[in-house]
Structure 1
Amino acid sequence: MCGIVGATSQRNIVPILIEGLKRLEYRGYDSCGVAVHQDGGPRRARSTSRVAELEAQVAQDGVAGYTGIAHTRWATHGAPAVHNAHPHFSHGTGADAYTARPARIALVHNGIIENHDELRAELQAKGYTFASQTDTEVIAHLVDHLYDGDLFDAVKRATLRLRGAYAIAVFCRDEPHRVVGAREGSPLVLGVGAADAGENFLASDAMALAGVTDQIVYLEEGDVVDLQLGRYWIESRTASAPHDRYERVERPVRTVLAHTGAAELGPYRHYMQKEIFEQPRAIADTLDAVQSITPELFGDGAYSVFKDVEQVLILACGTSYYAGSTAKYWLESIAKIPTSVEIASEYRYRESVPHPRTLVVTITQSGETADTLAALKHARSLGMPHTLTVCNVATSAMVRECKLAYITRAGVEIGVASTKAFTTQLVGLFLLTLALAQVRGRLSDEEEAAHLKALRHLPVALQAVLALEPQVIAWAEDFARKENALFLGRGLHYPIALEGALKLKEISYIHAEAYPAGELKHGPLALVTDQMPVVTVAPNDTLLEKLKSNMQEVRARGGELYVFADADTRIESEPGVHVIRMPEHYGQLSPILHVVPLQLLAYHTACARGTDVDKPRNLAKSVTVE
């Protein structure tokens, strides 16, 4: 989602700020901007175009400076417009606001301030004028109002007034070579520069600082950090300090070899297509260290945790939620452990019945998903201490918050619509299922060997599925002319149908819904006409004959079926029934194979419709606000 980069140095840091924004572009954004301390105060450039256009604007306007902040914004409060783009300024009140003197405060912000209306009214009463509809501008004016010659002190006092989630970076007209950052509920990292350069950095993601520094400090909840030339310090509202007081804290400096988002596309048209085809390698890498099934795959102490738990609670959002929904079938059928799956954004806002012997499993690609982090904390507050995450980023907040973890090795996923992160999550969840089954005495040596053999064969099996791309492209030409689609699956493959529908709507903007095929007659059948393509996931499992009956219900109403069928299902192409034959049936791991042609269908349909595949409208990659 929104991205922050900040720096203070003895060299022009504009190229660093711009490059940092480029590395964060994959998250998705509506506008971008940069501000530096120049000619006695803040000077900025903002754009509702891409970072490349901002870079050209900065060069044309001669924006340069030793201290500065930059931002990519995904709109929450206020439309995607230049006046709402960050950085925001505060000119103070009285004479200072009505002279040609530069603004005093420049600020960027990720997150949402829940009491912004209350603070806005208070500040307007004090004479502050607002130029935007954002909650962020409230923070800039609040810091200005509290400023009394010490920016660090003003930011600390301002954060005591804020309710909600935030990561902020601020600099002041009157204190060159100083940037102050603060975080609560939204990620922020400190980058420690080389000692001889005397520079320090802030960013919402260590990736933004790749190539600049690999010395990273992960700021914790409630931290406020003061960056100056050659030094920094951190204060926090710790347990030993009064609620309205900060005290000095030390945070470890870690060496982080951040991957760059500026990967080469090679022969592919889009990152999404590239990432779909990277799935065999991503799964192979995710399984690389797995020689046998053991709880220690998930961290030290996993055996005692797994031995103690009696049920599983999965918390996730979006595509990760569908991964969890698939895992529920595995966990209950193989490990025989009761499992519930909750949408993270809903879970903490309802009354639930906690059980202390629950394994709380979070699933997140970025490890920074705000709703999932909040749901995890809520689960812990209810007395459920056993926590585990399946995550793609080893240095993320989620991995630090959970006792146990399985780190998938999908690599950087730039396309907003998740593909390889999803299939590697499924691999991690299947391994979790086997480990729990083993501890519970539900997995024999022969079954373990068979499952491991199937897992190791997945990359080869996926290559055969990817070879179906030309056939999928032919279907996509038909889909591109439609405005609605229905996806059907049964049992273990119902969540895969949900994921296929999500992919199509995300990037092609075709309205798509998914249902358990047995539910057709309970309502969705009313929508079926010859203009409603019905995509059917048809593995050769115990529900196949039931699924065939549901398909006949569609044909009897004139619906057009598009079927991904296993080789031995005896489903043949005929008028109104289009069949793509899957290379092989894959048993319990079949969802990992069947989702890939659904990804390809969404991708090629979007290409045929000419949409922005990697950056679909209104969406962001890492959702760091609620």
Structure 2
Amino acid sequence: MCGIVGAVSTRNIVPILVQGLQRLEYRGYDSCGVAIQANGPDAQHTGALRRARSTSRVAELMAQVTEDKIEGGTGIAHTRWATHGAPAVHNAHPHFSHGPGADAAERAGRIALVHNGIIENHDELRAQLQAKGYVFSSQTDTEVIAHLVDSLYNGDLFEAVKATVLQLRGGYAIAVFCKDEPHRVIGARAGSPLILGVGQGETFLASDAMALAGVTDQIVYLEEGDVVDVQMGKYWIVDKAHKPVTRMVKTVHAHSGAAELGPYRHYMQKEIFEQPRAIGDTLEGVTAIVSGLFDGPNNPEGGAADKVFAEIDSVLILACGTSYYSGCTAKYWLESIAKIPTQVEIASEYRYRDSVPNPKTLVVTITQSGETADTLAALRHAQSLGMPHTLTVCNVSTSAMVRECSLAYITRAGVEIGVASTKAFTTQLGGLFLLTLALAKTKGRLTAEEEAGHLKAMRHLPAALQAVLALEPQIIAWAEDFAPKENALFLGRGLHYPIALEGALKLKEITYIHAEAYAAGELKHGPLALVTSEMPVVAVAPNDTLIEKLKSNLQEVRARGGVLYVLADADSHITSGEGLHVIRMPEHYGALSPLLHVVPLQLLAYHTACARGTDVDKPRNLAKSVTVE
């Protein structure tokens, strides 16, 4: 969600700051802004803090900056996804602070600050600051931090920020500078990502390495509790105990070219059609099922996963949103193939409930970004309960999640721009299926013949997905029926129940049609009351052991006048008729069928959204990377 970019340089860094925000636009935002210490052609403002803020797109912010001739070598910029206070200019970052009772000149601002995260004790701090005479111009928790820094400032911004973070409760990544100390920006993080970029004679801060693509590839990943003092071509870091510390500089190639739209109408469409390539890349080089596939970057010498897999006797999956549904799918695989008891938990619920820890549990986190706040917090909660065996399935090898888990499988979906996740989901399923097979083999529950069969099926997945994508014209016809509707029902059974859940989520996210998913056997226990000719019912109907049961459920819908849209395998003997629309999948794909059946549901949501004219890639109220609770 929110994005941060900061810089200290001898050149005008405004274009770099704004370009960094543009590269982070895909995360979702309601407003944006930039603040600099002026040293441009307007002598009237030299040395002062100047800013521009907008509730429009970053392009509008750039036009405003250009018109106002805002230039400088020290600055910060931000894209905001509203939490505290409505999406309005006065709530947009950066926020300024001035001392209580300051005269008109000082009210131009002394402290400038941007912030990702949520400060839980902001009301308490606000009351304390108001008692000191500070005046608030926004409803944000962020302005509280700016005033707090100002109240603690005594000529050294680094010391003021270190004193400030000791009073904050919650999650944050901040970047702050002061007009009294040119060429200096202070950053701090706890619970939200923040990185340092090392350039030639200049230094940067950002919430994501992509923001600095083309500027520098020398990246320092700040750890939990770090505070960094960024100056011209140099920096100092202290840890959460405020002791000096050295963090490794890594070369990170964050290519912005991956975000180019190309011939597609929207990024979501592009990413749906990239799935054959993404799955092929994710499974590239897998010639045998071995535990070493999951050693991850933290274990370059190998052998770590082998020891862990031999010891564990259960699996706990922690995830949110679409990643949670991939975990629900994996539960069926892990229990039916690997015979390992598996529990799937919504991360934001797990961390706040009493649970029974088992030190022999493999804790598996699933996240596209590797920075999902609730999932990171749930991981740390599981570790605090005495469950040390952790593994992540993640799309970003340099993320906090990968660094904090002992094992990892890095999917290779590439950059996913659309808020509604598509290729990240299918590549997660690919990684989780491999994990299932690796655990089954370690436990002696996978024969050589079965292993060969599964490997063959996985190698065929890119071609199978291409065949499914060829169904797009038929799905467009369905979308025309869905576009005027306001409610929809999705049904699935067994392994495909989570796929129905994911299909409903996609429709909700980008079309704003109210959609719910149920296990088809639950129809008669309540949801059947909703069925009318105005509520289309989508059924995922692979030709598996539950097909006859599912057919009975479909008859229950037809008998009540419901209109069915069925994704059926070629040999399932379900034919189109009055009130029954059938799209035939190219082939039945056994255990890997969920990877194929989800693709038509993605396309259905996409084309319905196009027909309704919604903002497909940036749906209202949503963000790509959810870094707050």
Bucket of the pairwise TM-score, normalised by the shorter protein:
over 0.9
Which one is further off, 61-70 or 34-43?
A: 34-43
**Aligned-residue offset at 1:237:** 2.3
The answer (yes or no) to whether the contact 1:344–1:372 under 8 Å persists in 2 is yes
**Aligned-residue offset at 1:348:** 0.8
* Per-residue deviation, residues 263-292 of structure 1 (Å, max 9, x unmatched): 322221000000000000000000112111
From 410, 418, 423, the equivalent of 1:415 is 418
From 590, 604, 607, the equivalent of 1:604 is 607
Kindly indicate whether residue 622 of structure 2 is the aligned counterpart of residue 619 of structure 1.
yes
The answer (yes or no) to whether the contact 1:259–1:412 under 8 Å persists in 2 is no
* Per-residue deviation, residues 323-343 of structure 1 (Å, max 9, x unmatched): 000000000000000000000
Kindly indicate whether residue 8 of structure 2 is the aligned counterpart of residue 12 of structure 1.
no
Output the amino acid matched with 2:434.
L
Task: Give the distance between the partners of 1:588 and 1:259, measured in 2 at CA.
Answer: 35
**Aligned-residue offset at 1:32:** 0.4
Task: Give the distance between the partners of 2:250 and 2:328, measured in 1 at CA.
Answer: 35
Equivalence map 1:233-382=2 (5 Å):
233-238=236-241, 246-260=242-256, 263-299=259-295, 300=302, 301-382=304-385
Secondary structure in 2 matching 1:191: strand
Matched residue, 2:574: 571
Task: Give the distance between the partners of 1:343 and 1:353, measured in 2 at CA.
Answer: 16
The answer (yes or no) to whether the contact 1:67–1:177 under 8 Å persists in 2 is yes
Kindly indicate whether residue 88 of structure 2 is the aligned counterpart of residue 85 of structure 1.
no
* Per-residue deviation, residues 184-209 of structure 1 (Å, max 9, x unmatched): 01000000011xxx100000001100
Matched residue, 2:22: 22
TM-score of the two chains, using structure 2 as the length reference: 0.97
The answer (yes or no) to whether the contact 1:41–1:172 under 8 Å persists in 2 is no
Output the amino acid matched with 1:56.
A
**Aligned-residue offset at 1:97:** 4.7
Matched residue, 1:582: 585
**Aligned-residue offset at 1:98:** 3.9
Structure 2 gaps of 5+ residues are 39-45, 296-301
Matched residue, 2:190: 184
Task: Give the distance between the partners of 1:97 and 1:278, measured in 2 at CA.
Answer: 58
The answer (yes or no) to whether the contact 2:78–2:94 under 8 Å persists in 1 is yes
Equivalence map 1:399-548=2 (5 Å):
399-548=402-551
Matched residue, 1:218: 221
Secondary structure in 2 matching 1:601: helix
* Per-residue deviation, residues 376-418 of structure 1 (Å, max 9, x unmatched): 0000000000000000000000000000000000000000000
Matched residue, 1:53: 60
Task: Give the distance between the partners of 1:188 and 1:76, measured in 2 at CA.
Answer: 19
Secondary structure in 2 matching 1:247: coil
Kindly indicate whether residue 171 of structure 2 is the aligned counterpart of residue 165 of structure 1.
yes
Matched residue, 2:72: 65
Output the amino acid matched with 1:423.
T
The answer (yes or no) to whether the contact 1:102–1:173 under 8 Å persists in 2 is no
Secondary structure in 2 matching 1:132: coil
Task: Give the distance between the partners of 2:115 and 2:68, measured in 1 at CA.
Answer: 24
**Aligned-residue offset at 1:622:** 0.3
Task: Give the distance between the partners of 2:127 and 2:364, measured in 1 at CA.
Answer: 42
Secondary structure in 2 matching 1:216: strand
Secondary structure in 1 matching 2:150: helix
Secondary structure in 2 matching 1:249: coil
Task: Give the distance between the partners of 2:332 and 2:510, measured in 1 at CA.
Answer: 28
From 108, 124, 127, the equivalent of 1:121 is 127
* Per-residue deviation, residues 207-254 of structure 1 (Å, max 9, x unmatched): 10000000000000110000111210001124xxxxxxx111000000
Secondary structure in 2 matching 1:554: helix
* Per-residue deviation, residues 576-618 of structure 1 (Å, max 9, x unmatched): 0000010000000000000000000000000000000000000
Secondary structure in 2 matching 1:248: coil
Matched residue, 1:150: 156
Secondary structure in 1 matching 2:34: strand
Task: Give the distance between the partners of 1:382 and 1:603, measured in 2 at CA.
Answer: 42
Output the amino acid matched with 2:7.
A
The answer (yes or no) to whether the contact 1:6–1:69 under 8 Å persists in 2 is yes
Task: Give the distance between the partners of 1:52 and 1:473, measured in 2 at CA.
Answer: 33
Matched residue, 1:242: none
Task: Give the distance between the partners of 1:403 and 1:101, measured in 2 at CA.
Answer: 50
The answer (yes or no) to whether the contact 1:530–1:558 under 8 Å persists in 2 is yes
The answer (yes or no) to whether the contact 1:40–1:102 under 8 Å persists in 2 is no
The answer (yes or no) to whether the contact 1:541–1:587 under 8 Å persists in 2 is yes
Output the amino acid matched with 2:255.
H
Q: For the structure 1 residues 264 and 237, does the alpha-carbon distance in structure 2 shift closer, same or farther, using more than 3 Å as the test?
A: closer
Q: How large is the RMSD of aligned CA atoms in angstroms? A: 0.8
**Aligned-residue offset at 1:121:** 0.2
Matched residue, 1:41: 48
Task: Give the distance between the partners of 1:395 and 1:214, measured in 2 at CA.
Answer: 13
Matched residue, 1:243: none
The answer (yes or no) to whether the contact 2:98–2:106 under 8 Å persists in 1 is no
Task: Give the distance between the partners of 1:261 and 1:550, measured in 2 at CA.
Answer: 47
The answer (yes or no) to whether the contact 1:188–1:219 under 8 Å persists in 2 is yes
Task: Give the distance between the partners of 1:54 and 1:254, measured in 2 at CA.
Answer: 32
Matched residue, 2:298: none
Secondary structure in 1 matching 2:374: helix
**Aligned-residue offset at 1:502:** 0.1
Output the amino acid matched with 1:481.
P
The answer (yes or no) to whether the contact 1:489–1:497 under 8 Å persists in 2 is yes
**Aligned-residue offset at 1:101:** 5.5
Output the amino acid matched with 1:17.
L
Task: Give the distance between the partners of 1:55 and 1:73, measured in 2 at CA.
Answer: 16
Task: Give the distance between the partners of 1:219 and 1:41, measured in 2 at CA.
Answer: 29
Structure 1 gaps of 5+ residues are 239-245
Output the amino acid matched with 2:19.
E
Secondary structure in 2 matching 1:406: strand
The answer (yes or no) to whether the contact 1:26–1:414 under 8 Å persists in 2 is yes
TM-score of the two chains, using structure 1 as the length reference: 0.98
**Aligned-residue offset at 1:92:** 1.4
* Per-residue deviation, residues 12-68 of structure 1 (Å, max 9, x unmatched): 000000010011001000000000001222100000010011111111111110000
Task: Give the distance between the partners of 1:280 and 1:380, measured in 2 at CA.
Answer: 36
The answer (yes or no) to whether the contact 1:33–1:71 under 8 Å persists in 2 is yes
From 111, 127, 146, the equivalent of 2:117 is 111
Task: Give the distance between the partners of 1:102 and 1:341, measured in 2 at CA.
Answer: 52
Matched residue, 2:42: none
* Per-residue deviation, residues 361-387 of structure 1 (Å, max 9, x unmatched): 000000000000000000000000000
Output the amino acid matched with 1:352.
S
The answer (yes or no) to whether the contact 1:24–1:261 under 8 Å persists in 2 is no
Task: Give the distance between the partners of 1:12 and 1:456, measured in 2 at CA.
Answer: 50
